[in-house]
A = this chain, B = another copy of it.
Amino acid sequence: MMLKEAAIAAMGGSLLFFLLIRNRVHPAHRLAVTISSIVVAIAFYHYLRIFDSWSDAFTFVDGTYVQDGLPFNEGYRYVDWLLTVPLLLAELVIVLKLAKSTTRSLLIRLTIAAVAMIALGYPGEIAAADSTTRTVFGVLSTIPFIYILYVLFVELGRSLGRQQPGVRKLLDGLRYLLLATWGVYPLAYMAPSVINDAATAEVARQVGYSIADVLAKPLFGLLVLAIALAKSRDEVAPQDDDLHRELEEFEDA
């Protein structure tokens, strides 16, 4: 419950930050930061809903929370992911500034894979803990997940060489952040099958999803912002001291 609260605050806070900071990014690199704002805005809204759904589902009885109200609606998370995961992948591609045709092809393929991954995960998520349904959809959903990782680490790896060194390091960080945070989701998904006590498993799953969401959205957005700012610097003509100072000031901060 407290973690959901922290997620609401992290999403709302980073939304405000991205909105306030985006004017400092050179217009040529601003779109990725705009998308970050939309991602955390959608997540902020959904965490409010998730929080309410959780409150409705549990009642405090005799010193402990028992689930006796409405069912907790895990669907909110999946609706959130269905919208935000393709957007996260899109901002990663957009901030790279590859050739037009490459960008388009990457956006189309990554969006389809992301939607497939999440749509295939949901039927398993709402299935019983040790059911075949849960296992089958878990496996099916892993296929597009692996495809996305292949695109990010093998296909995109080739284009990284053409980025300037500072940006390359940030981009590497971005890909590993994505790998590390997205790796939490399958673990959280498996919690009900691995942990015997249903209540403990549910808590483990919620904790896993919430932590992964905060790292995969606001933190991911911050890294994209850093890349956009590093690239903005190259766009600035040397005589434009004002903007230079402004950018330096931000990076110092």
Tell me the A residues contacting B by CB distance below 8 Å.
1-2, 5-6, 8-10, 12-13, 16-17, 19-22, 24, 27-29, 31, 34, 37-38, 41-42, 45-46, 49, 60, 70-71, 73, 75-76, 78-80, 82-83, 90, 94, 97, 100, 103, 107, 242, 245-246, 249-253
Each complex incorporates copies of this chain amounting to 2
In the assembled complex, the Cα of A29 lies from the Cα of B249 at a distance in Å of 8
Q: How many angstroms between the C-alpha atoms of A20 and B97 in the bound complex?
A: 20
CB pair A2 B78 closer than 8 Å: yes
Given contacts A17-B34, A38-B13, contact A5 B79 (CB under 8 A): yes
26 contacts between A and B (CB under 8 A): A2-B75, A2-B76, A2-B78, A2-B79, A5-B46, A5-B75, A5-B76, A6-B83, A9-B42, A12-B41, A12-B42, A13-B38, A13-B41, A17-B34, A20-B22, A20-B37, A27-B245, A28-B246, A28-B249, A29-B249, A60-B71, A90-B253, A94-B252, A97-B249, A97-B252, A107-B253
Q: Once the chains are docked, how many angstroms separate the CA of A246 from the CA of B253?
A: 27
Of the residues B38, B252, B253, contact of A17 by C-beta under 8 Å:
B38
Specify the main secondary structure of chain A where it touches its partner. Answer: helix
Task: Write out the residue numbers on chain B whose beta carbons fall within 8 Å of the beta carbon of A71.
Answer: 60
| A252 with B103, Cβ < 8 A, contacts A9-B46, A79-B9, A83-B6 known | yes
Instruction: Kindly state the separation between the CA atoms of A60 and B28 in the bound complex, as whole angstroms.
Output: 51
Residues of B near A75 (CB, < 8 A) are 1-2, 5
Task: Compute how far the CA of A73 lies from the CA of B31 in the bound complex, rounded to whole angstroms.
Answer: 39
- Residues of B with C-beta under 8 A to A76: 2, 5
* Residue from B13, B16, B31, B250 in contact with A83 in the complex, judged by beta carbons closer than 8 Å: B13
* Smallest CB gap from A64: residue in B: B71
